[in-house]
Amino acid sequence: MSTTLHWKDSTVEVHKVVVGPYDNNVFVIRCTATGEAVLIDAANEHEQLLELCRALGVRRVLETHGHWDHIQAVPAMREAGYEVAVTALDAPRLKDVGYDVFIDDAEVIEVGKLRLHAIHNPGHTEGSISFAVANTPLLFTGDTLFPGGPGNTALEGGDFNTIIHSIDTKLFTFPADTIVLPGHGLNTTIGNERPHLQEWVDRKW
């Protein structure tokens, strides 16, 4: 499984695979001290994700939001016994695939000795959520923040002014060297993106 290793320090490993027709990023955040892990976004290609989960000690699945390209593997994950968590606001989008528990804004999620801070980031969907791993530079932003701008706000539940406010007040408060790991595409940093906020406002996407 070392081929999936994307980032690591002394306390945490991040594994990444890219799945499905929309090249969704699926991340596993693993506590190196205990071997416990969570999977971010059960997007697609459930056989590969289940293999990853078994190899890396995944206990549960956290969904950044409920768009269909991020939830295709949810039924298989739940059938295999993995708990799936989503915000209450995005839970209706999972009515066909199911979910188990809600994630609340500012909730602290324990993964072994790691602590993930849930950050409600509305704008791409009403209930989009990001995850910051305490005492690391890692910030998992789903489809809220990408290299070069915010996520798409043209879909149902999206709102451009909301996503801009959400990014500005909840994500751009992180240090410049914070690593942004989005739901599609490449990593970026808060320092790379923050100077461009006004450009995004001016261009309106």
Domain of 42 in residue numbering reads as 2-203
The per-residue pLDDT for 121 is 97
Q: What is the pLDDT of residues 158-186, one digit of tens each?
A: 999 999 999 999 999 999 999 999 999 99
| Upper half-sphere CA count for residue 23 (Cβ side, 13 Å) | 4
Closest CA relative to residue 173, chosen from 132, 204, 115: 132
Q: Give how far Cα 165 sits from Cα of 24, 100, 161, 171, 191, Å.
A: 25, 30, 6, 10, 17
Res 99: pLDDT? 98
pLDDT in tens, 110-126: 999 999 999 999 999 99
Task: Give the residue-averaged pLDDT of 134-152.
Answer: 98
Question: DSSP labels for 34-56?
Answer: T--EEEE---S-HHHHHHHHHHH
Domains in the chain: how many in total? 1
pLDDT tens-digit readout, 52-101: 999 999 999 999 999 999 999 999 999 999 999 999 999 999 999 999 99
Distance CA 86, CA 61 (A): 9
Q: Furthest-apart CA pair in the chain: how many Å?
A: 47
CATH of the domain at 169: 3.60.15.10
H/E segment holding residue 198: helix 197-203
- What's the pLDDT band for 2 if we cut at 50, 70, 90? low
Task: Quickly tell me which residue has 């500012």 as its tokens.
Answer: 106
Compute the distance between CA of residue 205 and CA of residue 195 in angstroms, rounded to an integer: 15
Stretch 6-18: mean pLDDT: 98
pTM score above 0.85: yes
Q: Please give the mean pLDDT across all residues of the chain.
A: 97
**pLDDT tens digits for 25-48?**
999 999 999 999 999 999 999 999
Distances (CA, A) of 166 to 37, 43, 61, 122, 151: 27, 24, 24, 6, 11
